[in-house]
Amino acid sequence: MDDGFAWIIFVGTVLLAAGLWLMAPRPRSRGPWSGLLVVAFGLGALVSQLPAVGGAGPEFIFYLLAAATVLPAVATVTCASPMYAAIWFAMTLLGSAGLFLYQGSQFLGVATIIVYAGAILVTFLFVLMLAQPSNNASYDRLTWEAPLSAGAGAVMVGLLTLAIVSVFQNDVAAAHPVSEVTQAALDKELLNPEHMARLGGQLFSRHLIAVELAGTLLLVGLVGCVAIVTQMHKSRVPKASGVGRAMTEVVTGGSMTHVGMSGPISAGAGPGLGGKSHV
Amino acid sequence: MSEVALLENYLVVGALLFGIGLFGFFSRRNMIVMFLCAEMMLQGVSVSLVAWGRWHNDWGGQMLVIFILTVAACEAAIALALVLALYQRSGSLDVAFWQSLREDNQPPHVDRELPPTSGDDKHWPTLTPSGLEPPPNLEEVTHRSHV
C-alpha cells in the first residue's frame, strides 16, 4: 500500500500545530493572519487526503458547512476576548447544526441551535458579564505552554485522521465492508419523512430508562447548583461584611474627594450658570 | 452521494473540533473559555456520533447526542455556579490563581512576560453624536469671563 498519504497528513499536523501556536493569544499581539494562513495550509493538507463526497453540489455544501464549523472553532480558542470567543463558539454551533441537518438528523440540528446556542451559550454570556471585571484582563492574553498544547491538539487530529484514512484505504477493509447501507434502507429508517415520529418512538421505547436517568440528572444538577450558590453566600457572610465595609469606606472617601475637587471646577466651567453670574 | 466518503469527512471534522478544543482547554487561562473548549470537544464527539449513526442506519448515534446535550446542559450549569463561587473568592477568572492546589513536587508557574498595559488597549464604547445640531448659544460664544 502506498503510504504517501501518511507523510502529507504528518505535514498537515505540523502545520496545524504551528498555526495554532502562532494564533494563540500572547502579550504582544501580532494579528491572526499569519497563523491563520498556516492553519489553512495544514487543514488543506489534511483535507486533500479525504475522498470526495461526490458531485459538485454536495461537495460545495459540505465544505462550506465544515469551514463554517472549523474556522470559528479556531477563532474561539485563539480569540483573546472571552466575549468574542463565546460568540465565535455560537458560530461553530450553527455550523455543526448545519452538518447535522445535512446528515438528515433534523431534530438534532434544531435542538443544537435552541438548546446549545440559545440556552447554554447565553448562560455562559451571562456569567461572563457577571464575572468579567474589565474588558481586557491580562490573563486572557497569557497562555499555559501554548506550543505543547498546540502540539497535543494537532497530534490528536493527525492520529485520528491517519487512522480514519488508512482504515478506509486499506484493501482488506475495502474487500470486507463493515456496513454498506443502501439508500432504500436509509430512506426507510433514518431518512424517513416522519423523522420526529421515528426518533420519538426510539427515544421513548428503547431508551426509556436513559430518558428517566437524564431527567434525574437534570434534577440533581439543579439541586446541586442551588446548593452551591446558597453555600457560596453563606460562607461569604462573615468575611464579606468586613471587606464590604472597607470597600464602602474607600469608595465614599474617594468619591468625596472627587466631589470636593470637581465641584468648584465644574461650577466655574459650567457654560450657562457661571457665565451669567459673572455678567 | 458516497456514504463512505461522507463518514470519513464527518469523522475528520469531528476530530478537528475535538483537537482544537483540546488545545484551547490546555492553553487558555480564563475558566469560562476553558469550559467553552470542553463544550467544543463534546460537539466534536457529537458530529462523529451522528456520522456513525448514519453509516449504520441506526438511531443510536442520534440518541447518544441527545443525551450528550442533556449532560452538557447539566455540566454547564454546575460548572458556571462553581466558576462564580471561585470568582467571588479570587476576584478574577484566572485559573492560575488556584495553582497552589498543584502537587508538591511541581514548580509554581510564573509568567515570564506580562502584557503591557498601554492606553490604547482600553477602547471604551462611545456613542456617535446623532440628531440635529442645536443652534449655537450666542451668549456662550460671545461671552468673556473676565470683564
CA angle A223, A226, A228 (to 5 degrees): 110
pLDDT of residue A110: 94
**Is residue B31 over pLDDT 50?**
yes
Nearest CB among B69, B77, B93 relative to A111 is that of B69
Q: In the predicted model, is pLDDT for residue B127 greater than 60? A: yes
| CATH number for region B3-95 | 1.10.287.3510
Among A179, A196, A198, the strongest candidate for a mutation testing the B interface, having the largest count of B CBs within 10 A, is A179
Contacts of B102 in chain A (CB under 8 A): none
C-alpha grid cell for residue A177? 465492508
- Biggest CA–CA distance in chain B, Å, is 93
What pLDDT is recorded for position A266?
39
- The number of beta carbons lying within 10 Å of the beta carbon of residue A115 is 18
Predicted TM-score (pTM) above 0.95: no
Determine, for residues B20 and A74 on separate chains, whether the beta-carbon distance falls below 8 Å. Answer: yes
Chain A residue with minimum CA distance to B53: A190
A 10 A CB-CB count for A129 gives 9
Residues of A in contact with B62 (CB under 8 A): 105, 107-108, 199
Is a pLDDT exceeding 80 seen at residue B104? Answer: yes
CB contact under 8 A, B23 and A152: yes
The more confidently predicted of residues A111 and B125 is: A111
The predicted pLDDT at position B146 comes to 64
Give contacts of A47 with chain B, Cβ < 8 Å.
12
- B53: contact with A, CB 8 A cutoff: yes
Q: Looking at residue A112, what DSSP letter applies? A: I
What pLDDT does B23 receive?
Answer: 95
pLDDT at A188: 79
Identify all chain A residues contacting B92, using CB atoms and an 8 Å cutoff: 133, 137, 139
* Contact flag B81-A225 (C-beta cutoff 8 Å): yes
Could A185 and B57 be called an inter-chain contact, meaning their C-beta atoms sit closer than 8 Å? yes
Q: Which of A205, A105, A223 is nearest to B69 (CA)?
A: A105
Cβ–Cβ pairs < 8 A, chains A and B: 307
Question: Could you tell me the residue ranges of all domains in chain B?
Answer: 3-95
How far is residue B11's CA from residue B23's CA, in Å, rounded to a whole number? 18
Q: Which residues pair with B30 in a beta bridge?
A: B94
Which three cell numbers mark B16? 478537528
Predicted local distance difference test score (pLDDT) of residue A15: 92
Q: Has residue B125 got a pLDDT over 80?
A: no
Rounded Cα distance between A253 and A245, Å, is 12
Residues B33-92 have pLDDT tens digits of 999 999 999 999 999 999 999 888 889 999 999 999 999 999 999 999 999 888 888 888
B84 and A69 within 8 Å at the Cβ level: the answer is no
CA distance linking residue B113 with residue A141, whole number of Å:
10
Yes or no, beta carbons of A77 and B23 under 8 Å apart? yes
Cα B7-B11-B14 angle, rounded to 5 deg: 140
Handedness of CA B52, B56, B62, B67 (dihedral sign): negative
- Whether residue B4 is predicted with pLDDT greater than 90 in this model: the reply is no
Give the 3-state secondary structure of residue A91.
helix
Point out the residue among B28, B74, B140 whose CB comes nearest to the CB of A77: B28
pLDDT at position A24: 86
Q: How far is A274 from chain B (nearest CA, A)?
A: 9
Is the model more confident about B98 or about A273?
A: B98
Determine the residue among B6, B7, B16 to mutate to test chain A binding: the one whose Cβ has the most chain A Cβ atoms within 10 Å: B16
* Predicted confidence pLDDT, tens digits, chain A (279 residues): 467 888 888 999 999 999 999 888 887 777 788 888 999 999 998 888 888 887 788 889 999 999 999 999 999 999 888 888 999 999 999 999 999 999 889 999 999 999 988 888 888 888 888 876 665 677 888 888 888 999 999 999 999 999 988 887 765 556 555 556 777 777 778 888 888 899 999 999 999 999 999 999 999 999 999 999 888 777 655 544 444 444 443 444 433 333 333 333 333 333 433 333 343
Contact B109 A144 (CB under 8 A): yes
Distances in Å between the Cα of B32 and the Cα atoms of A113, A155, B37, B49, B57 are 20, 25, 9, 26, 37
Under 8 Å between Cβ of A275 and B140: yes
Nearest to A151 by CA among A27, A42, A37, A41: A42
Q: How far apart are CA A132 and CA A192, in angstroms?
A: 47
